[in-house]
Structure 1
Amino acid sequence: MEPGRRLVLVVEDDVTIAESITARLRAEGFVIEVAHDGPAAVAADAEHDPDLVVLDVMLPGFDGLEVCRRIQTRRPVPVLMLTARAEETDMLVGLGVGADDYLTKPFSMRVLTARVHALLRRVERSARADAADARIVLGDLEIDIDRRRVARGGVPSQLTPIEFDLLVHFARRPRAVQPRERLLNEVWGWDTHTNASGTRAVDSHIKALRRKLGADLIRTVHGIGYALEVGP
């Protein structure tokens, strides 16, 4: 792979869709690896360490949710999930196992590439910010940014990449109210005017942080957004 070029793993069992995604992303300058089932996807992730995964939910072998769980356990990687189903429950389950974004079929290749670029911009912004401070301590909350580890009250917790970035965003602004639209723009890199599912994605990840780190961690500011309550 040429230095500086991003590698995207496309996991899609429909060959026609996989070829379309591959062609469009290659035209955008990405290096592409392709897998067509769950086991092959996990193996390809381990072999190639992609910068981003485009992941279909319905796959032979085992489904995309299980793929997402396994690859996120090995190492954090941004995941854009694809599904033929539009139910909100499916979206929340996908986000809950570590996906960063969610597209329902049929989708335009223009939207897909926009989402891919937005996810990678978020990762780059996070890496630049991480270089500024290696550790944040707020009360009993400890965040090791270099190693992307979190503990509260001395108890470690495993967060997905987007959960970690969301927590760090809050921790850099303790007790400040963060509107959902700002979180979507600054953490996800989403355009809130074109992403109708955005606020549900925020709410889903807030629930996950509360479940993993304590219900009192983040306060809901009704009609606006959220604020991190833990602090000195």
Structure 2
Amino acid sequence: MKNKLYLQFYGSCALVLFASLGYIVKFYASWIEPFDTFITNGIRSLQPTWTTFFLWVTKFGNPLTVIIIFLAILFVLLYGKRYVEAIWYSAGVIGIAGIFNPLIKLLFMRERPTIEHLVSEHSYSFPSGHSTGSMVLYGTLIFLVPIFIQNKTCQRIIQLLLSVFILSIGISRIYLGVHFPSDVIGGFSVGLGWLLLTYPIYEEKRFIWRFKSKQN
């Protein structure tokens, strides 16, 4: 119960952060310009050394890649009769990354940065779809790692690598010039809010499912 309250509190904080950023972006965009400019200049100062890496890592947040990885993981979960996990995973990737994020972009209609783009993008900027998608897709896997791997040390290593991977995808969007830092933070906040608020619900459903399965 204690962990549930913590998760719900932090999840709520993430959504409050998203709502606050969205309000500023929509009505007082000039307020956040100094922050966006400072972070963008710092990250893009790494050019061209990191260009190859960020062009590579950003592909793991592309819609097609996300769909392929999602379907592969979904197949594994269904094959292993992990139905509760499959439902939670699908709800996040389809509902939040696939439907909610594109729709919410239409509310803010923020134009992308006017600096040079190293990849082609045509939709609105806030919140970053790559950031939301990677947080939901790979973030869910962070929670599900213990299901597949029993060794605690291996669990922590894989979870850390997935966390760094998510962060790298977000940074790549700034480095490549297609997103403001506030877009990335907004996307991460949406995805993280979803994960932290729904994980306790998933845990409860998983416990009930396992209990019923044992009875049968």
Which TM-score bucket, shorter chain as reference?
A: 0.3 to 0.5
Structure having the higher helix fraction is 2
Higher relative contact order (CA 8 A, sep 6+): 2
Name the structure where strand makes up a greater proportion of residues: 1
